Amino acid sequence: MNQKDIETLAIALPEDILKAKWCGDFDRAFHLIDLYLANEKVPAFMKTRLALEREVLKALPTGYTYSEEDALAFVQKEIPDFTKAELDALRDRGAIDWIYINGKTTYSRTFYDTLLGVYPDIATRAGKPPKDKSDRVEFLRQNVRDMKKDGDALWSIQLRAQFRLHDDVFRPGEELTVHLPVPKNAMNMRDIEILATSHPIYKLADENAPARTVSFRGKFEKNETFWVEYKYLSYVKYNNLESAQVSAEQPTFDTEELYPHIRFTPLIRALCKELSGDEKNPLLLARRFYDYCTKVGTYSYVREYFALPGSIPDYYGAGLHGDCGVQALLFITLCRCAGIPARWQSGLFVTPDDTGCHDWAQFYIAPYGWLFADPSFGGSAHRMGDSERNDFYFGNLDPFRMAANSELQADFDPPKTQLRIDPFDNQRGEAEYADVGIRWMDKECDWKTIEMKKLS
């Protein structure tokens, strides 16, 4: 199965498989898939789609571990007066991710983390008031002030990224390949240096690779930690955008669909039309799409993207909740549907105290060129009542990033031969043996900020 096969996820499943899937009868779903795969009348593209669905069904239930009873008991340990009615209400308004397993409601393994992280009142009742993020918020606010004053920002950033298999999936003496994301050449990334690695490099992809990786390959007798240390300059300029300056002629590149997720579905077309109204100026149109992504709906953690159903932008557009990548994909898809060039960028958000995975977007408006949009950071600012930061993340980006990916679902170099943990993106890293890919729950990854310096 190659990376191109991912596009077939846009094809609808047979109804009987869907019925079994969404009532959580996974054994029956596997049985039905096997019947279709054995049927010589089923076309090859559908067999590819069904083979992928087998992998989706393997991954889907692994993220859901709490029955209704267990979930309620778990919360009540810290919030004794928390009721089932509250749990049901949170579930029904999309605040908690859940699926059916064997016909019974089963909650996400991270459902409580979502409640504590997104709902301050629940965290306070649990005696765990939201972590004081005032230093980080002030860090970002100061950057906005500095960029408005100086016109740009330049930082030198040095990181170490680490990746390790769990002991129970490590196979001594068998050839293992590890692919770790590293910085790529981009408008906000330059002077990239690979400083050190834990093992000899098998292949370092070109700096312009759309999903850049460094890979290691070998037959290892003991389970080891793989790491790469790199340094780069992060440069961003400040854009003070004015709709009156927008050119009459606009380009048409990066406006096409990309299956399975950047699709002009009926929902996307209807939402694009409703948000656009009579507006024709592409900058003002993009702002309407950004406002929808940042001010409507709720930020929430979601399952692995590979296990999300249908189109990811539809998932947010219909359910009004999702994380940074879901929001970015909706913004990109709405822009493209309106004829505005838009594309993906992802990697890490980096501060001296914390580093984590993050996704954001770019869109093109002549005469300004490529601009940034970060609906997740813009939405967070909006929830805090910080209109200045909300405005900033439309057209601008802070320099606290490591961009490893500039295209969605781009192949690695060298390509991964087994199905990826995340076929659409790469932020944590991937690994594989000759006959099997490592799953998301079978590895650990971490990052360490070695040095961050503001240069200008």
* % of the chain exceeding 90 in pLDDT: 85
Shared domain check, 349 and 271: yes
Shared domain check, 301 and 212: no
Q: Are 230 and 193 a contacting pair, CB within 8 Å? A: yes
- DSSP label at residue 256: S
Question: At 350, which CATH number?
Answer: 3.10.620.30
Shared domain check, 274 and 202: no
Shared domain check, 124 and 28: yes
As to burial, measured by CB atoms within 10 angstroms (0-12 exposed, 13-18 middle, 19+ buried), residue 232 is buried
Partners of 301 in the β-ladder: none
The answer to whether position 187 is within a domain reads yes
- The predicted-structure confidence for 64-81, as pLDDT tens digits, reads as follows 999 999 999 999 999 999
Shared domain check, 290 and 164: no
Q: What pLDDT does 215 receive?
A: 98
Q: Are 330 and 342 a contacting pair, CB within 8 Å? A: no
- The predicted-structure confidence for 293-342, as pLDDT tens digits, reads as follows 999 987 877 888 888 888 999 999 888 888 999 999 999 999 999 999 99
Q: What pLDDT does 132 receive?
A: 52
The answer to whether position 400 is within a domain reads no
The arithmetic mean of pLDDT across residues 198-218, rounded, is 98
Shared domain check, 345 and 211: no
Q: What pLDDT does 119 receive?
A: 85
* C-alpha span between 411 and 209 (Å, rounded): 9
Q: What pLDDT does 48 receive?
A: 96
Q: Are 438 and 166 a contacting pair, CB within 8 Å? A: no
Domain tally for the chain?
3
Q: What pLDDT does 135 receive?
A: 82
Q: Nearest Cα to 292, choosing from 347, 333, 263?
A: 333
Banded pLDDT at 93 (limits 50, 70, 90): confident
* C-alpha span between 431 and 429 (Å, rounded): 7
Distances in Å between the alpha carbon of 112 and those of 77, 84, 263?
Answer: 12, 14, 32
* C-alpha span between 331 and 374 (Å, rounded): 9
Element at 180 (helix H, strand E) = strand 175-181
The answer to whether position 40 is within a domain reads yes
Shared domain check, 7 and 94: yes
* Distance from chain centroid for Cα 246: 31
The answer to whether position 419 is within a domain reads yes
3-state helix, strand, coil in the chain (%, to 5): 40, 25, 35
Helix (H, G, I), strand (E, B) or coil at 296: coil
The answer to whether position 140 is within a domain reads no
- The predicted-structure confidence for 9-52, as pLDDT tens digits, reads as follows 999 999 999 999 999 999 999 999 999 999 999 999 999 999 99
Element at 134 (helix H, strand E) = helix 134-150
The answer to whether position 404 is within a domain reads no
Q: Which tokens is 175 given?
A: 């050839």
Shared domain check, 381 and 285: yes
Shared domain check, 249 and 196: no
Residue type, 15: E
Shared domain check, 22 and 65: yes
Domain range for 41: 1-131
Q: What pLDDT does 118 receive?
A: 79
Q: Which tokens is 114 given?
A: 């979502």
Q: Are 57 and 26 a contacting pair, CB within 8 Å? A: yes
Q: Nearest Cα to 364, choosing from 388, 346, 387, 340?
A: 340
Q: Which of 131, 165, 187 is the last residue of a domain?
A: 131
Shared domain check, 269 and 390: yes
Residue 130 confidence (pLDDT) above 70:
no
Q: pTM of the predicted model, to two decimals?
A: 0.93
Q: Which of 371, 395, 419 is the last residue of a domain?
A: 395
- The predicted-structure confidence for 247-265, as pLDDT tens digits, reads as follows 999 999 999 999 999 999 9
Banded pLDDT at 352 (limits 50, 70, 90): confident
The answer to whether position 439 is within a domain reads yes
Instruction: Calculate the average pLDDT of the chain.
Output: 94
Q: Which of 67, 97, 131 is the last residue of a domain?
A: 131
Shared domain check, 421 and 290: no
Q: What pLDDT does 131 receive?
A: 58
The answer to whether position 405 is within a domain reads no
Residue 369 confidence (pLDDT) above 80:
yes
